[in-house]
Amino acid sequence: MIKCVVWDLDDTVWPGVAIEQDVTPTPYPEVLRAMDVLAGRGIVSSAASRTDPSLTAAVTAHPELAGRLVAPQLGWGPKSEALLRIADELGVAVEALAFVDDSPFERAEVAAVLPGVLVLGPDELRLDRPEFTPAVVTDEARARPRRYREEQARRAAEREHAGSREAFLRASGLELTVGPARPEDVPRVAELAERTHRFNTTGEPWPADRIASLIGDPGWFVPVARLRDRFGEYGLISTALVERHPRGLAAWQPRLFMVSCRAAGRDVPRAVLGWIMRRALADGARQLLVDLRPSNANLELRLLLRGTGFTAADPAAGSPAPGTVLLARTLDSDLPEVPWLRLIEECS
């Protein structure tokens, strides 16, 4: 699925070549309309133009383009490199980019270097293409364009911050709102289960109707966590499907725990885990059991679990499913805390 369309500027977004003109050209109205329709589906627009990099200021201040383009790249280098920078800035895979350019030469260069990119001429850009038509557009997806702009402001502030990373995080005003999932959260919980890989304990998809049935089930606890900071909203970025007292044990057992990778760098996995541990303790649990399907993809999460005291569970605690291991940690001491995250607990 495409998450970002990267537009050429000269003769694609606007007529003519900008550096040969006294004022920045006016974009084609149908291009602006296409950008808006795509944004409504959670697909952002960016730009890659081979031109004088000093024109960047004119684009980022352009009345019609400033709010529509994220991370525009103007410079003399190859467009494939511009696309790699855009993917990096947005935190998406190169395969999630589409590239629109009137020049067959530029299209061929990108297609040769980045075969995963959907390369189109302006006349091939039809908004009913399946790559541009997600089956379900969640609120999270619709908010994505705004989020990418906030993330850019955040990264710029972090680059310019003189102190340590911890000092930057402390100054970011991070607030984590945690509480039980509501029925309206189900599509996003299912989306996270499907889309997160790095911070996902098992990588198993859970159907939305199954998740919905767990929300009202007293044998389960389905928490969600939302993150915001002074730059904006990250949205719903972590969730878990926790079995309470499985097999009559004095334990809680997350069958799935996951965190969106855009929040993982803020120590959110550790904070959410620590909060779940405290809830478990208050519910009479003495240990937390975690189903884990170890892989290379979720190594960071495995290290985090190990670093917060998880080791192989006693076989008496239950037998793990094939390909998984069961981890355990007692809840008697040193529950993880993240000092720079303000935790706000929503009532059950």
Residue 276: name the closest of 260, 263, 287, 291 by CA: 287
Q: Does 119 bind another protein (CB under 8 A)?
A: no
Considering the rule CB under 8 A, would residue 311 count as an interface residue with another protein? yes
Stretch of 13-21, 22-30, 134-142, 308-316 lying at the interface with another protein (CB under 8 A): 308-316
DSSP state of 70: S
Site string for another protein, 17-46 (x = CB under 8 A): ------------------------------
How far from 122 is each of 96, 131, 188, 232, CA to CA, in Å?
A: 18, 16, 33, 34
Q: Does 303 bind another protein (CB under 8 A)?
A: yes
Interaction of residue 294 with another protein, rule CB under 8 A: yes
Quick check: 312 binds another protein (CB under 8 A)? yes
Tokens standing for residue 131:
């790559």
93 binds another protein (CB under 8 A): no
- In the list 52, 131, 283, 300, the residue contacting another protein (rule: CB under 8 A) is 300
Closer of 91 and 179 to another protein (Cβ): 91
Nearer to another protein, 280 or 301 (CB): 301
Based on the shown chain and the rule CB under 8 A, indicate whether residue 307 belongs to the binding site for another protein.
yes
Q: Decide whether 32 or 325 has the Cβ nearer to another protein.
A: 325
Looking at 5-13, 22-30, 121-129, 304-312, which segment touches another protein (CB under 8 A)?
304-312
Q: Minimum Å distance from CB 308 to another protein?
A: 8
- The four Cα atoms 274, 252, 216, 190 give a dihedral, to 10 degrees, of 60
Total H helices, total E strands in the chain:
12, 14
Q: Which residue has the tokens 């070549």?
A: 17
Q: Which two tokens stand for residue 333?
A: 């001491």
Among 215, 304, 317, 335, binds another protein (CB under 8 A): 304
Q: Where are the beta strands (DSSP E) in the chain?
A: 4-7, 44-50, 73-75, 97-100, 118-120, 174-180, 220-221, 223-229, 232-244, 251-259, 287-292, 311-312, 325-330, 341-345
Closest CA to 191 of 223, 150, 128, 236: 236
# residues near another protein by CB under 8 A = 18
Closer to another protein at the Cβ: 91 or 134? Answer: 91
Residue 325 interacting with another protein (CB under 8 A): yes
Instruction: Answer whether 274's CB lies under 8 Å from 337's CB.
Output: yes
Site string for another protein, 234-273 (x = CB under 8 A): ------------------------------x---------
Burial 222-246 (b: 16+ CB within 10 A, else e): bbbbbbbbebeebbbbbbbbbbbeb
Nearest of 43, 24, 22 to residue 34 by alpha carbon = 43
Angle formed by the axes of helices 144-160 and 79-90, to 10°?
Answer: 90
Q: Which of 23, 104, 216, 296 binds another protein (CB under 8 A)?
A: 296
Residues that bind another protein (CB under 8 A): 264, 292, 294, 296, 299-304, 306-308, 310-312, 325, 327
